[in-house]
Amino acid sequence: MAITFSQEPLLFSSASNPIIYTFSSDQTGQPNFSYKIELYIDTALFGTYELYPMFDEFCKFDASEYVRSFLKTHMSLATGFICETSDQWNTIGLKVYESYGNPPALEDFASAGNITCFNAALRYDDFVNFNYSEYYLDPLLGMTPYWLTTYPLFDKQFTNYADPFHAGILAKKSLTAYRMYLRIYDITGTVTFSYDDAISIIERVCMLDISPAQFDTNGWTAGTEWNSCYYYEVEIKATSTVAPFDYIISWPYRLYLDQSCSRFKPQKLYWMNKFGVIEQFEFRMYSEESTAITSYGYQVQPGEWVDGGQYALKVSDSEKRNNMKTAEDRITLNSDWMKPAVQNWLVRELYESPQVWLYLGGVYKPVILENKESRQKSRFRDGLIQETVVATITNSYRTQLN
């Protein structure tokens, strides 16, 4: 009697893609044979399921539809230097029993190792080729992990001084110490300022605000260091706290500081990307605000009764009246010129995100994008590339009754 797992999910798995276990038993020829599955979410029993062999003695179980409802990305909590929330990840475990006999009874079982599911939803090709170790700050892996973004790696990414700039990373959480490095460069590529300090990461999905203003607020810089800044880089070092004290350093997140004057007021959109962390993009060209107004009215009969039993009609009588109106504010955003790779990244990430916010006066305002399709543009066809986005503010206005 034996249960054997032939396939288990990755140690870090995207919750909105298939999370597949496959297993087999050497007792499938027994009468009334079936597999009894116990699914554990955050170490607690979530549900039990009965399955039958699907291919010879093999069977599969997909846990994604059960765990994905537990996960959420909270923009309301992304207000500090380091933003962590346990809602962005969870652990799951699986226990498989053999059941057979007359009447059926539970026999041998086997358990799969616990894995971490995080609030990600990858496109099919990205999911099939996903390697969590490329993003995982684990000193034992000996790799240089990327940040949780699909922004083109070698294209310039800009930020202004004041607005938050969020970046995400996967962390080991236990037996690991973390240190963050900031280096500021001038236009010649010379380091004009550097600083590093220990940071506390207690969750497995971490978002950091690496904007210049946040570094000033937290005492890493005093403001003047940014005067000659052309670009700056942020790295995270993860060091094992037990022998042999291995360490790794993340890929540097390079941001170019936009200090240019703008003819128009820039507008910034934030959204939940496919890794479940917050990304952003600034629209620097002309933006236009508008309001969609909907009227709710009714038909009335003109005229009124007057003394003497007469029914009088006046030229000022109305045949239609408004009972109430509602108003929805919209804003049309236009990007600056961009490279094809950046435009392709923007439309895939932004338009396909279920959560989008417009940053207004220090407040993240939820919006719904009206763009119904994305087109990946190319210089061969489109020449200079811009992108236009229409967003509706979700807080609508409702007038008085009459």
What number of other Cβ atoms are within 10 A of residue 165's Cβ? 24
Q: How far apart are the C-alpha atoms of 156 and 270, rounded to whole Å? A: 18
Q: Tell me the residue type at 136.
A: Y
The pTM for the full model equals 0.90
Is the pLDDT at 31 greater than 90? The verdict is yes
Q: pLDDT-derived band of residue 301, with 50, 70 and 90 as boundaries?
A: confident
Is the pLDDT at 84 greater than 80? The verdict is no
Torsion of CA 162, 167, 172, 178, to 10 degrees: -40
* Domain end position, chosen among 257, 281, 314: 257
Domain count, the chain: 3
* Residue 305 maps to a domain: no
Domain boundaries, position 375: 267-297+323-398
Which string of b and e fits 333-350 if b means at least 16 CB within 10 Å? bbbeebebebbbbbbbbb
In this predicted structure, what is the pLDDT of residue 284?
93
Specify the pairing of strand 166-171 against strand 136-137.
parallel
Q: Tell me the residue type at 32.
A: N
Tell me: do 287 and 387 sit in the same domain: yes
* Residue 317 maps to a domain: no
pLDDT-wise least confident of 7-16, 169-178, 326-335, 376-385: 376-385
Tell me: do 29 and 57 sit in the same domain: yes
In this predicted structure, what is the pLDDT of residue 82?
85
Q: Do residues 115 and 94 lie in contact, with contact meaning Cβ atoms separated by under 8 Å?
A: no
Tell me: do 272 and 248 sit in the same domain: no
Tell me: do 278 and 208 sit in the same domain: no
Name residue 110's beta-bridge partners: 96
- Tokens 């499938």 sit at which residue? 28
Is the pLDDT at 238 greater than 90? The verdict is yes
Average of pLDDT values for 334-348? Answer: 94
Q: How far apart are the C-alpha atoms of 216 and 231, rounded to whole Å? A: 16
